[in-house]
């Protein structure tokens, strides 16, 4: 980078999503800068996040469908071995952490783990490659394009809210509407005195409501924060390559490989944590508190 201002513009460009929405002045279209993206408001779409999320989800489906079609009881191939090990690992995690009975939890956990891992793994691609491909494909040398969907809070919060909807659904299904309301208002403080119990209802509801809402927020922000920080480190290392200083570029090569190796652990761990918290939260939703 020729100057600090250029480095700052480079970082801002790589942290901006390809946004499609409605501008009051020019109608529907793509945002050319962060100010226009902000002006589009709530109903703007992050096209890069949506596109990569769907594409990686389809890749996951195709790979597992291919493994299922080629599955054999004889000597399995490398793909079948890999899928079987992965399924056994997820199934073991579900059996250890989920104490209810549901045919949905294990497939859901497998989908979450593989899908989140694939979205995280895109962060290992050099930060300039995919944006440059987007520039070549569109002919626009200034188009922003972020490929790591989990660095977008909209994606992580969307997945977390989907899990949250399942938590509410199973809580009501297992405990009934009355049981769910009772869980939200009669715990953790209780009393045999009806008048005192009525006074405790607002306090119980406040505590339980905060605990309930914290589940999707913690799911979303934990994944987003870790992946966003990892992407930012890769971008800062990339700035070192454009410094024009040979020694700084050499240091950037070393840091790039060191951080990439360490980041493999991060992307796997974050996918595992998201999956395990989902299992635990759904297990809690299946428990009846009398």
Cite the active site residues: 218, 222, 226
Residue with tokens 């000597």, as numbered in its chain: 75
For the record, the structure tokens of 142 come out as: 């200034």
d(CA 172, CA 32): 45
Helix or strand or coil: residue 3?
A: coil
Instruction: Kindly report the number of other CB atoms within 10 A of residue 149's CB atom.
Output: 31
Its sign, for the CA torsion 259, 261, 264, 266, is: negative
E-strand stretches of the chain? 19-23, 27-30, 45-46
For the record, the structure tokens of 116 come out as: 């989140």
d(CA 179, CA 192): 18
For the record, the structure tokens of 130 come out as: 């995919």
d(CA 257, CA 261): 6
Helix or strand or coil: residue 166?
A: helix
Residue with tokens 């297990």, as numbered in its chain: 283
d(CA 70, CA 163): 32
């Amino acid at each position: 980078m020729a100057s600090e201002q250029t480095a700052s513009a480079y970082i801002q460009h790589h942290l901006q999503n390809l946004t499609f929405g409605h501008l009051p002045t020019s109608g529907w279209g793509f945002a050319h800068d962060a100010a226009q993206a902000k002006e589009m408001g709530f109903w703007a779409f992050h096209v890069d996040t949506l596109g990569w999320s769907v594409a990686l989800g389809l890749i996951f489906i195709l790979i597992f469908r291919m493994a299922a079609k080629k599955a054999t009881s004889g000597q399995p191939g490398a793909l079948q071995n890999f899928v079987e090990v992965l399924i056994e690992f997820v199934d073991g995690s579900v059996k250890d952490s989920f104490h209810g009975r549901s045919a949905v939890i294990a497939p859901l956990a497998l989908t979450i783990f593989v899908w989140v891992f694939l979205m995280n793994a895109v962060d290992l691609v050099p930060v300039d490659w995919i944006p440059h491909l987007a520039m070549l494909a569109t002919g626009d040398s200034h188009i922003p394009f972020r490929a790591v969907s989990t660095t977008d809070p909209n994606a992580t919060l969307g997945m977390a809210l989907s899990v949250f909807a399942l938590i509410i659904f199973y809580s009501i299904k297992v405990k009934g509407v009355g049981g769910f309301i009772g869980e939200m208002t009669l715990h953790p403080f209780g009393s045999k005195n009806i008048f005192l119990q009525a006074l405790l209802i607002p306090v119980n509801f406040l505590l339980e409501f905060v605990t309930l809402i914290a589940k999707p927020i913690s799911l979303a922000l934990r994944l987003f924060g870790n992946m966003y920080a990892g992407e930012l480190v890769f971008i800062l290392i990339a700035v070192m390559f454009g410094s024009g200083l040979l020694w700084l570029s050499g240091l950037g090569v070393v840091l790039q490989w060191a951080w990439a190796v360490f980041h493999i652990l991060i992307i796997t761990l974050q996918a595992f944590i998201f999956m395990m918290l989902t299992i635990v939260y759904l297990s809690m939703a299946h428990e009846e508190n009398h």
